[in-house]
Structure 1
């Protein structure tokens, strides 16, 4: 997980659907975090409205923990595997947080949040709390943020689905003022990393849901919809065939190269093509095929530097050496260009991502920064949804995932993927019939190409035939100019928004 600022969605609606399927719908709401509405929709189905904080980015669900229940709003994360909650006694919850609630140095200030505004957990107030691992919970994220404390068991409820003895982490020492719901592989749990022993793994949320008969197998599907969507869905134990186009292409999850085990949702990205009205470019990298993690807890996408530079040049993005981020004018969201991501070779799925999903606001009204010099002088500044990493893990976060319907099958170690059907109002839920059953409506890709290791490909500069078509909307030069953007008094991106600062 690597959280950065973005306008993701407004909220989540969590609901328990039919037998063997647990559904969490995503919806945009104007309510504040912590407000919720519970309503019975039909037999064994409940609707829960929860608000996503646009300053933090990501997708959040309101849950209850303990007996009697305490309300908390937690971020949903496919890139981690623990549920953890901030303790009410932690320093980040007891006072105002300087970063305003952002994770590490990647997010933006939330403008005056006091401590843990999305809720914290007080174990002294729960009669079913049981501390089962003092000092054993210790998790760190790519952006440098962390949470440390104890493991405990207690009641956990979301959308009418109640687990009476859920293992969770208690953040006693954390710089993150909200918790997470990690739904990845159990081998990616913090306790496994700490002990270096697979036997330390416990039953995390999807495994526990399966064991308690809520779902038939350890699998779920993700439909985030577009950036301004009013609805979306995370469906445990099933697939909604009305939320994507065509048939699901099923590809293999790759084992971690260091542990030779399945620890995260790594797939082989084998191509990236830039398409626009002026032409197409097959972009290249020395690291192709690239192992990439499909991670809903990361708001941006992070590619190898040689590949990211080609992407930036196509769209005319400029790189700020101080924040180490790429930016572009906000009117580029009107560009007709798209990027097509290919997986597992020529027979695998191909997902097109357009610029409306990749141009992310940094503020509103007077808080919007502007370019004060260079080719974009006077234009409002937006963050670009594709950034660079210099080494693994490379990540495809929400800026990619909104364009794909993704099925995560942890039993068979497979991913089902298809182009999303944006703003679909139809629903056709098909549950997995049994443990280990194949992905419904899935077609296994033949002759899959796997990631073969570092620097196995070659980087060749494209002709940039698509560049003019991408950038014509903004009437700018097709070649990338590395504008040096000075940000007075700011050393990290989260300080850009909400401060009224402008780019020089």
Structure 2
């Protein structure tokens, strides 16, 4: 199924390590939501459809501007998908062409002296890409420069030689050297080159409303993007034979809470005694994927039926006015997703539930994608091997460096009304297209440099 494209202004941040004074650079972002179906400096994200979020990079010398999708469900950075791939829709081809390209021969700092094989093929839940490895300088910037505190030098990444069913490059934010790869990925390089002082980053996708942006901060958190205390959960190990390291956490239960009566219904996850399950947090997936037993019961509450073949649940759009909340309970922490935000408008008349059935043959029991993550503030910390969660809200900007002990002691500065406002904005949004970006604002305060949309 094809989703309509729309722009969503976001914010990405990278906090520089504390070597005298803390520093942070904020850069403009945008995003494109296209389903990958598996898989401190601040920078801009671009939201182009309803299935992925894009960040702008400057690669090489001089810097070549390229947008790529951020994806916590994969590990490698690659650019230049085949925009003429016949499996793409016309609007996807146009979005692909607008993301920019990287030409190694025009960069004076480009080279292919890498320690791994020269080529690789990466398979996603939907789509695949064959890449050739290069090394070059990469900046999280919209300035066209690959120099400065927000850049890494001589970093390894892939340039696509062929791709199918993928209309954007991908910045994999998963596990690199010593885990899933035999070379340092982007997260590794940020820490190794002391751009950040930990292999950690936080993500607030923000609502689907173009006027309500989010933030990704490498090496830090923004305490004005959530409410309450960040609750830390240990990362779980690979879950099956042949599995890789992923951002697994324990989910104890999922409930539907009626906002009018206050009654709560707990969904069975299919395990005996509803034993907790391991879930993957994946920003590269537009939808979430739940056990069939759980999804079937949830679909009935939204007057929908699970279409296992297409992997969707078609529901009446009238569900966007429901006064109910889906509650996701983890080992530590709870995230509430208003039912209206879990109903995705495909066009002006049709809607689907924000979850599909998980595929038992993949080995993954459950995956929480953008339909969940837009309601959460999530800190992914490979250094302390934790995932920290809080309820998303938006009451300004206050990026701070994550200490060596992790993010568990941070308390959000927003109150409950800010979270409610964020959800109300999301409920009003319907996919569409917005041309142009806001003017850039540069601010300096307490060692922080910010470039905001």
Common fold, TM-score beyond 0.5?
yes
Indicate the residue corresponding to 1:51 in structure 2.
Answer: 46
Indicate the residue corresponding to 1:372 in structure 2.
Answer: none
Indicate the residue corresponding to 2:312 in structure 1.
Answer: 325
Matched, 1:385 2:354: yes
Report if the CA contact (8 A) 1:250-1:416 is conserved: yes
Q: Post-superposition shift, 1:251? A: 0.8
Indicate the residue corresponding to 1:165 in structure 2.
Answer: 154
Structure 2: 5+ residue stretches without partners: 33-39, 142-147, 412-431, 434-453
Matched, 1:417 2:393: no
Q: Post-superposition shift, 1:168? A: 0.1
Indicate the residue corresponding to 2:174 in structure 1.
Answer: 184
Report if the CA contact (8 A) 2:198-2:219 is conserved: yes
In 2 relative to 1, CA 9–138 (structure 1 residues): closer, same or farther, beyond 3 Å? same
In 2 relative to 1, CA 25–243 (structure 1 residues): closer, same or farther, beyond 3 Å? farther
Distance 2:196 2:85 in 1: 40
Q: What SS does structure 2 have at the residue aligned with 1:441?
A: coil
Indicate the residue corresponding to 1:99 in structure 2.
Answer: 88
Report if the CA contact (8 A) 2:76-2:172 is conserved: yes
Q: What SS does structure 2 have at the residue aligned with 1:438?
A: coil
RMSD: 3.1
Indicate the residue corresponding to 1:337 in structure 2.
Answer: 324
Indicate the residue corresponding to 2:76 in structure 1.
Answer: 82
Task: Note the 1:376-455 alignment, pairs <5 A.
Answer: 380-391=349-360, 392-393=363-364, 394-421=366-393, 423-425=394-396, 427-433=397-403, 436-441=404-409
Distance 2:43 2:72 in 1: 21
List per-residue Cα deviations over 1:98-140 (Å, max 9, x = no partner): 422xxxxxxxx62662864322222222232222355532210
Q: What SS does structure 1 have at the residue aligned with 2:395?
A: coil
Report if the CA contact (8 A) 1:340-1:350 is conserved: yes
Q: TM-score, normalised by structure 2?
A: 0.76
1:127 to 95, 103, 108: 108
Distance 2:380 2:140 in 1: 20
List per-residue Cα deviations over 1:307-345 (Å, max 9, x = no partner): 10011011112344663421112232111111100112x
List per-residue Cα deviations over 1:224-266 (Å, max 9, x = no partner): 1222152211111112222211111111110002369971100
Matched, 1:307 2:294: yes
In 2 relative to 1, CA 412–51 (structure 1 residues): closer, same or farther, beyond 3 Å? closer
In 2 relative to 1, CA 115–301 (structure 1 residues): closer, same or farther, beyond 3 Å? closer
Report if the CA contact (8 A) 1:26-1:224 is conserved: no
Structure 1: 5+ residue stretches without partners: 32-43, 101-108, 193-199, 369-379, 444-496, 499-504
In 2 relative to 1, CA 4–248 (structure 1 residues): closer, same or farther, beyond 3 Å? farther
Matched, 1:273 2:267: no
Distance 1:187 1:259 in 2: 20
Indicate the residue corresponding to 1:374 in structure 2.
Answer: none
Report if the CA contact (8 A) 2:122-2:128 is conserved: yes
Report if the CA contact (8 A) 1:328-1:382 is conserved: yes
Distance 2:158 2:93 in 1: 27
Indicate the residue corresponding to 1:136 in structure 2.
Answer: 119
Distance 2:270 2:52 in 1: 31
Report if the CA contact (8 A) 1:117-1:177 is conserved: no
In 2 relative to 1, CA 69–26 (structure 1 residues): closer, same or farther, beyond 3 Å? closer
Q: What SS does structure 2 have at the residue aligned with 1:67?
A: coil
Give the aligned length: 383
